[in-house]
Every structure is written in C-alpha cells, then in structure tokens.
C-alpha cells in the first residue's frame, strides 16, 4: 500500500499510466499500438501529468517507462503530415513545456529505455537526469532521414556530451546508437538486461528518494549552469548552495549518522 496517496491518484489518462509508491512516481507511456509515438493528446497528457507531479512536494523521484516493443518512435508523423500548424509553434508550445518541467523540476527523473527511442522520443529520454537502457535499446536520431534537423534538445545533448565532430557524424548519418555505444559515449548511465530494466530503474529511484532532497534539489541547477560560469562564479554558487544545505536538518542528520556509523534517515527539512 502506498504511504503517500496523492489527491490526484484517481486522475485518468488515456495514453499514460501514473502510479505512486511512497516518494516515487512512475509514468508509463501506454500508446504501444502506435509505438508510443507522440501525438497531440499524448503531449497534453504528459504535460498535465508533470504539472501534477511537480506540484506534489512529497514526490522526490520520477521514473519514465513505456509499454510495448519500444520506448517511443518519436513524433507521430501521420498527425504531423495532416497538421496545418507551424511545427515551430508545436515544438515551442507543446514539447518545450514538457522538457522544461523535467529539467527545472526539483525532483530526480530517471528514464528507462527499451527497444528504440527515436527522434524526439530519444530527446525526451536524454532530458531526464539519469538514463538506463536495456541491452536491446537504441537511441535513433533519425531526423536527417526525413530531411529534418535534430529537435527536442538533441543537438544540445550531443554537443554537451560528444563535442562537434561526433555530434555532426551522428546527425548526418542518422544511424541508431545501441546501448553499449551509448554507454561508451556517456549518453546513458547504465545498461541492464531487458528483463531487469523496470525493477532496476524503480529500485534506483526508490533508493534516491530516501536521499537528502534539499541537496538533490540544489545539485540539478548547479550542474546545469556550472559550465557557463567562470571558476570564481562556480565556486561562489557552490558556496551559496552549500550554506542552504549546511543549515538544514538533513545535514545535522547526515553528520550524526556519520559519527554513529549508521545510514542517515533524511527528512527533507
């Protein structure tokens, strides 16, 4: 039985499943008949779900998974081809809020990818704080095959992690990148057997949910901004955030547990 039963736990989604166990929320994409391709309804539901989750202070970690044979085939091209709307508007008004809610959240997001994560589906997985891939998984930046440039922040993730030469190679050739290659390139944190993907990701999320949430909340913006700062600015930002952590009950508990040679029990205060 979940210790934390959110007020929105009975909220029904057509293309997503939400479940909460203690301090971890699990989002599962369920449009498996369409390979979890993103249409307007799926984007709307995911944005609504993330709003509910981010407004819930008791949730500390979020797991993103998918049903079916793959994580996501990317954008629903049949919908896209029939739309008259500007794709720039769709990216900025429908996709961007989703990605920003993940990146700017004070919660830790872990994506678990099996099968193919193509196009903006791969971008969504890479936008999570942590990424675990099944041994059969692939990231597939297939944009060039359609005469498109990368979107969903794919170019940003590639350049940050891989540099220019490898990034342009992957974008121009539009080849799938298997799990082991993603691991060697630093695009994923871990690779596990497909049968172990869900239990591994959920277990990792539950373990992190028991960590010092104040420090976890601050480390996300710190690491997202530090490469834009000078050494002196980074040092100052660390000092400011460290002061906030230093005055918390979590630090008191961590220090006491250290001297008592036991595992700390953090309260998030």
The model's pLDDT over 147-162, given as tens digits with 9 standing for 90+, comes to 999 999 999 999 999 9
Rounded to 5°, the CA angle 132-135-139 comes to 65
Task: Identify the pLDDT of residue 6.
Answer: 72
Average pLDDT, the chain: 93
Task: Identify the pLDDT of residue 268.
Answer: 85
What domain range includes position 112? 16-209
Task: Identify the pLDDT of residue 145.
Answer: 94
Task: Identify the pLDDT of residue 1.
Answer: 38
Among 185, 209, 233, the domain-final residue is 209
The answer to whether residues 151 and 184 belong to one domain is yes
Distance of alpha carbon 44 from alpha carbon 151, whole angstroms = 18
Percent composition of the chain: helix, strand, coil (DSSP 3-state, to 5): 50, 15, 30
The burial class, CB within 10 Å (0-12 / 13-18 / 19+), for 32 is middle
Tell me the average pLDDT across 39-51: 96
The burial class, CB within 10 Å (0-12 / 13-18 / 19+), for 149 is exposed
Structure tokens at 178: 């298997």
Task: Identify the pLDDT of residue 85.
Answer: 63
Residue 266 lies in a domain: no
Enumerate residues 6+ apart whose C-beta is below 8 A from 14: 41, 45
The answer to whether residues 70 and 161 belong to one domain is yes
Residue 7 lies in a domain: no
The 10s digit of each residue's pLDDT in 196-219 is 999 999 999 999 999 999 999 999
Residue 3 lies in a domain: no
The 10s digit of each residue's pLDDT in 57-90 is 999 999 999 999 999 999 998 876 655 568 899 9
The answer to whether residues 106 and 233 belong to one domain is no
Tell me the average pLDDT across 111-130: 98
The 10s digit of each residue's pLDDT in 16-41 is 999 999 999 999 999 999 999 999 99
Helix crossing, 96-103 with 120-127: angle to 10°?
Answer: 20
Residue 4 lies in a domain: no
Query: Which ranges of the chain does DSSP label H, i.e. alpha helix?
Result: 40-54, 77-82, 87-90, 96-103, 120-127, 154-173, 179-185, 197-209, 213-225, 231-246, 249-260
The answer to whether residues 256 and 162 belong to one domain is no
Question: How many distinct structural domains can be found in the chain?
Answer: 2
Task: Identify the pLDDT of residue 84.
Answer: 54
The 10s digit of each residue's pLDDT in 216-264 is 999 999 999 999 999 999 999 999 999 999 999 999 989 998 999 988 9
Distance of alpha carbon 173 from alpha carbon 181, whole angstroms = 15
Task: Identify the pLDDT of residue 9.
Answer: 64
Task: Identify the pLDDT of residue 10.
Answer: 63
Residue with tokens 């008592």: 260
The answer to whether residues 117 and 156 belong to one domain is yes
Q: CA dihedral in degrees (89, 91, 94, 98; nearest 10)? A: -150
The answer to whether residues 178 and 225 belong to one domain is no
Residue 89: strand, helix, or coil:
helix
Structure tokens at 263: 């595992």
Residue 11 lies in a domain: no
CATH number of domain containing 28: 3.90.226.10
Distance of alpha carbon 59 from alpha carbon 155, whole angstroms = 30
The answer to whether residues 224 and 153 belong to one domain is no
Distance of alpha carbon 27 from alpha carbon 65, whole angstroms = 6
The answer to whether residues 156 and 111 belong to one domain is yes
Helix crossing, 231-246 with 213-225: angle to 10°?
Answer: 170
Task: Identify the pLDDT of residue 198.
Answer: 97
């Amino acid at each position: 039985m979940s210790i934390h039963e959110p007020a929105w736990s009975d909220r029904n989604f057509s293309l997503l499943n939400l479940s909460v166990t203690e301090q971890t929320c699990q989002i599962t994409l369920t449009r498996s008949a369409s390979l979890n391709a993103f249409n307007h309804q799926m984007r709307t539901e995911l944005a609504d779900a993330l709003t509910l989750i981010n407004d819930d202070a008791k949730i500390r970690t979020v797991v993103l998974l998918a049903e079916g044979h793959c994580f996501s085939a990317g954008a629903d091209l049949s919908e896209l081809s029939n739309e008259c709307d500007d794709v720039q508007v769709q990216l900025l008004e429908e996709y961007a809020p989703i990605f920003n809610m993940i990146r700017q959240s004070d919660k830790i997001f872990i994506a678990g990818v099996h099968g193919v994560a193509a196009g903006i589906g791969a971008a969504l997985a890479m936008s999570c704080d942590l990424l675990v891939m099944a041994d059969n998984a692939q990231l597939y930046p297939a944009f060039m095959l359609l005469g498109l440039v990368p979107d969903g922040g794919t170019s940003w993730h590639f350049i940050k992690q891989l540099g220019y030469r490898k990034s342009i190679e992957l974008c121009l050739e539009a080849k799938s990148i298997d799990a082991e290659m993603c691991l060697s390139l630093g695009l994923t944190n871990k690779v596990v057997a497909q049968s172990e993907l869900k239990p591994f990701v959920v277990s990792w999320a539950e373990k992190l949910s028991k960590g010092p949430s104040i420090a976890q909340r601050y480390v996300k913006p710190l690491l997202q901004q530090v490469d834009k700062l000078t050494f002196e600015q980074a040092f100052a930002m660390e000092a400011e955030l460290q002061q906030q952590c230093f005055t918390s009950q979590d630090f008191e508990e961590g220090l006491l547990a250290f001297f008592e040679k036991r595992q700390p029990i953090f309260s998030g205060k």
